[in-house]
Structure 1
Amino acid sequence: MGTTVFERQAPAASVVDHSLARTADSVFWIDDLPSRLRPNRVPLRGEQRADLVIIGAGYTGLWSALLAKTRDPGRRVIVVEANRLGWAASGRNGGFCEASLTHGHENGLRRWPDEIDLLERLGLANLDAIESAEAEYGLDFHFERTGQLTPAIEPHQLAWLDEWYAEADGDPDIVLLDQAQARQAVASPTYLGAIWEKQTCALVHPARLAAELARAAEERGVEIFERSLVRRLDDGPDGVRVETDAGRIDAAHAVLATNVFPSLLTRNRLMTVPVYDYVLMTEPLTEAQLASIGWQDRQGIGDMANQFHYYRLSRDNRILFGGYDAIYHYGRRVDPAYEHRPDVWAKLAAHFFTTFPQLEGMRFSHRWAGAIDTSTQFTAFFGTARKARVAYAAGFTGLGVGATRFAAEVMLDLLAGVRNEKTELAMVRRRPLPFPPEPAAAIGINLTRWSLDRADHNEGKRNLLLRTLDAVGLGFDS
């Protein structure tokens, strides 16, 4: 087996130790929120009636609330959140807001070849709508339509770039860069070439996006209750009944936006697994440091390995650097204890300085982790329950920042009984294969992770297990 660039060009251990010596175990995006965007909302108490109740105050639930009130300002909409608004994936992701609804073109083409053109058109329209939302609703979530740079960092990946560019068939928004051009765009000695997709990705401030969606929704009359864990979802006199420890809501319809957390519907308990992803954030770069790496176009960046890294600049020129290890823990549990992995952060720091050796001496100000709701098709799945009075979407698999808005539109259409090009999609109408129960899930996922690592060490060649999973439409990704 071969070695990867991160093994061949690893920095000294002292460089890594210095960079992590003062790092706070805290989510930068949430720490960066002004207090006015983080009000303390009361828990649900007593009995309430609503037209629509939404369970979960992350992106999926908040887009659902805002779009529901936009469609029908007279509708009473209530959101209940078990913890604080935007505290989980919506407050701690990398802020890559992509047009793709299908976890990339290749995955969409393999699963829904007859609909791929429609899915990509809908995805671009959805990203355009997110960009327009800042002006439409008076929001500021630091939206930057930078596009995304995808560098080849191993020689065998150059052929993948050539195939990708050939399939683009002259699309002016897809630019192929040779080694010199890639390093001129972003000065990393690991880059051998790259593709720059100019229009299909934007960057946002994750926690601000959640906070601003909530602010706009509340200004339009949406009621949001925090620290209100939903214990039961049943039929009710008005349609559905939602019960917390201290309150109850009877509503005509419900949206389930609980994503990685155990579903209130038994049918969905095996549809996702929680995969833990880890992130570092640097201190702000000085002008000299920023000049040393270029990056004038501020693209989001994600490399081509199976165990890939993603990184981007913040508004104040910090570098967020995450990915690579995607860790599953036996039993599908979501547990804060899983977020503390000094070994993973040390590995990420080493990979960071391999990518940018000119930044040796920098420190990381923040480190954190979070669980991703992974599905076997790498994209969200949809459905209704309780005689179409409940709609759900989950399984975004790490590309939910943009796709959650699309999911909200789909769920509202499903509840309204609307048939259109969104609700008629095979991706919406057909559920993916579930993950197996334990211990098969842990065995299968960890064997798959091992196989992906071997592929990265063997010129990308996929072994029998990976080829079999590809053939039957099963997978594991973050």
Structure 2
Amino acid sequence: MNAIKNGEVSFWHADMGGLPTPRRPLAGDTTVDVCIVGAGFTGLWTAYYLKQAEPSLSIAVIEREFAGFGASGRNGGWLSGDFTWSRDKYLSNGTREGVISFERQLRETVDEVIRVCETEGIEADIHRTDCLTYACSPAQMQRMRAALAEERAWGIGADRATLIEGPEALSRIRIANTQGALVTHGVARVQPAKLVRGLASVVERLGVSIFEQTKVTGIAKGVVTTDRGTVRARRIIRATEGFTHGIPGNEREWLPMNSAIVVTEPLPQSLWDEIGWQGAELLGDASHAYCYAQRTREGRIAMGGRGVPYRFGSATDVRGQTQPETIRQLTEILHRMLPQTRGLRLDHAWCGVLGVPRDWCATAGLDPKTGIGWAGGYVGIGVSTSNFAGRTLADLVLERQTERTDLPWVNRRPRKWEPEPLRWLGVHAMYRLYHLADRRERASGGQRSSRLAAFANRLTGR
């Protein structure tokens, strides 16, 4: 039996034939109109929309590894347009109407990403589908009803999400102990490494310079310093998301949260007939320590979750290698939800980091005094949100007043995370409480939600 591959950045890159040959590094000092730090979705979308608006701009993208090395090439492939943050928290920087507009515009990113891919010839295995979030206990069903009711109380969600009961939910995917499912329409599955690497090629064709294998050592007004030279620019965009802590002065800005995925061998058609899942829907569950999954182009199951959520001192993985305990936990989730898969081989496991602000809410902005902009803190839904961030940052760089620049996430700056060991203790306590809450609910037959999860959220400000 083949041993499971662990790391090697991600399965998505292996699916493309292996890791790409790095582009040339920065070759000494240079001056451009805009310097973007980070060649992931946020940085590349920003470059794309800037070039669409002002083709004459000179733009340099600086990347420590290669385009798509970080979360953009490692995520679960959910192009969802979701809004998962606390709506009430955004009211401190805007109005109710602004929050609703933000959510509405985020939903439109699914169509926008697909439009760009069709226009630019990016083949990324995109498949329009639904997202199915399964409730496997009465308590989980109760939470989903409450979440849907909250959306509708805000005047949103009525046309996008519906709740289906057990028999109908089982007809979609045969998840064990199904009580029902929340069906979210208007989403898509994507192969994320294909998307990010295709986008990098597109912006290069538009005249953007991408310098890889170049480590940024500092960002200041008008200057980005690297180990290969200095870049001077009137506008600088920090698009480093989960790796932001590695830039001096930003160590406690966003916490790098671990998320990991395991991928099975391709399933035989007979097993798909047993499981269902014929629409390639995105799949999640309503547990406190939730999971996310997709059916891939070639008929594998990619199952993801938090596993070991955070490494002390904001340390990150080594080229995607994850812990055996994380692989064990994800395998347990896969087998619990889909016991039909118990005989399957796992082919690949990996992890990455996502950026988490102290208030767990995404932000984008630009400081006019320094000329430094940023976007991130997507808390795990960056495939779609990064596209919207790129459009917003392009407006801010070009000093255009638009519907996007007035939204409540713009120029919102939450407080920093606590120093160690407080943040390690807080995050690990939160996830231990989530897992304990899920175990208690299962042990009691899942009749009511555990209060431990609510306590965990209060503990960390989630």
Q: TM-score, normalised by structure 2?
A: 0.89
Distance of 1:263 and 1:273 partners within structure 2:
7
**Runs of 5+ unmatched residues, structure 1:** 1-17
**Secondary structure of the equivalent of 1:428?**
coil
Among candidates 87, 102, 109, match of residue 108 of structure 1: 87
Alignment of 1:81-92 (within 5 A): 81-92=63-74
Alignment match of 2:437 (pick from 452, 455, 465): 455
Partner-residue secondary structure (3-state), 1:70: helix
1:149 aligns with 2:132: yes
Gap change, CA 1:96 and 1:43, over 3 Å in 2: same
Q: Matches of 2:273 and 2:167 in 1, distance apart?
A: 17
Alignment of 1:405-416 (within 5 A): 405-416=387-398
What residue number does 1:12 align with?
Answer: none
Range moving further from structure 2, 177-186 or 343-352? 343-352
Q: 8 Å contact 2:317–2:351 — kept in the other structure?
A: no
1:183 and 2:170 matched: yes
Please identify, of 164-173 and 21-30, the stretch whose mean Cα deviation from structure 2 is larger.
164-173
Gaps of at least 5 residues in structure 2 are: 442-447
CA distance in 2, matches of 1:55, 1:429: 18
Aligned to 2:110: 127
Shift of 1:39: 4.4
Q: Answer yes or no: is the 8 Å Cα contact 1:56–1:258 preserved in 2.
A: yes
Please name the residue that 1:321 is paired with.
303
2:240 maps to a residue whose letter is: T
**In the alignment, which of 259, 265, 280 is matched to residue 283 of structure 1?**
265
Mapped pair 1:79 → 2:61: yes
Distance in 2 between the 1:450 and 1:281 partners? 25
Conserved in 1, the CA contact under 8 Å of 2:307 and 2:325? no
User: Post-superposition shift, 1:157?
Assistant: 1.4
- Is 1:256 aligned to 2:243, yes or no? no
8 Å contact 2:25–2:213 — kept in the other structure?
yes
Question: C-alpha displacement at 1:129, in angstroms?
Answer: 0.9
Question: 2:445 maps to what in 1?
Answer: none
The structure-2 alpha-carbon separation of the partners of 1:203 and 1:248, relative to structure 1 and needing over 3 Å to count, comes to same
Question: Which residue does 1:159 correspond to in 2?
Answer: 142
TM superposition shift of 1:222:
0.9
Distance 2:246 2:260 in 1: 27
The one-letter code of the counterpart of 1:130 is V
Per the alignment, residue 5 of structure 1 pairs with none
8 Å Cα contact 1:382/1:394 also seen in 2: yes
| 1:197 to 2:150 alignment | no
Q: 1:217 aligns with which of 192, 203, 218?
A: 203
Give CA deviations for 1:64-94 in whole Å, capped at 9, x if unaligned. 1111111111111111100111111111110
Alignment RMSD, CA only? 2.4
Pick from 438, 456, 459: which aligns with 1:466?
456
Conserved? CA contact 2:320–2:350, under 8 Å: no
Q: Tell me the residue number matched to 1:24.
A: 5
Give, in angstroms, the shift of residue 211 of structure 1.
0.5
Q: Which amino acid is the alignment partner of residue 215 of structure 1?
A: S
Cα distance between partner residues in 2 of 1:373 and 1:452: 20
Q: d(CA) in 2 for partners of 1:262 and 1:162? A: 36
- C-alpha displacement at 1:122, in angstroms? 0.9
Matched residue SS, 2:435: helix
Three-state SS of the structure 1 residue aligned to 2:214 is: coil
Residues in 2 aligned to 1:435 and 1:64: alpha-carbon distance in whole angstroms: 27
Comparing 416-425 with 210-219, greater Cα deviation is found at 416-425
Whether contact under 8 Å (1:148, 1:300) holds in the other structure is: yes
Give the Å deviation of 1:252: 2.1
Distance 2:360 2:294 in 1: 22
Do the aligned partners of residues 335 and 296 (structure 1) sit closer, same or farther apart at CA in structure 2, a change above 3 Å counting? Answer: closer
Summarize the alignment of residues 38-117 of structure 1 with structure 2, pairs less than 5 Å apart.
38-100=20-82, 102-103=83-84, 107-109=86-88, 111-112=90-91, 114=96, 115-117=98-100
Residues 451 and 462 in structure 1, CA contact (< 8 A), matched pair in contact too? no
Q: Distance in 1 between matches of 2:365 and 2:162?
A: 38
Cα offsets for 1:40-87 (capped at 9, x unmatched) = 311111222211111110111111111111111111111110011111
Distance 2:261 2:60 in 1: 33
User: 1:361 Cα shift?
Assistant: 1.6
**1:258-288 superposed Cα distances (whole Å, 9 cap, x missing partner):** 1112457766432211111121001111111
Are residue 384 (structure 1) and residue 366 (structure 2) matched? yes
1:431 aligns with 2:413: yes
Question: Which residue identity does 1:24 align to in structure 2?
Answer: K
Change in Cα spacing, 1:242 to 1:468, as seen in structure 2 (3 Å) is: closer
Query: CA separation of 1:24/1:390 partners in 2, compared to 1, >3 Å: closer, same or farther?
Result: same
Deviates more, 1:405-414 or 1:215-224: 405-414
Amino acid at match of 1:460: S
CA distance in 2, matches of 1:155, 1:146: 26
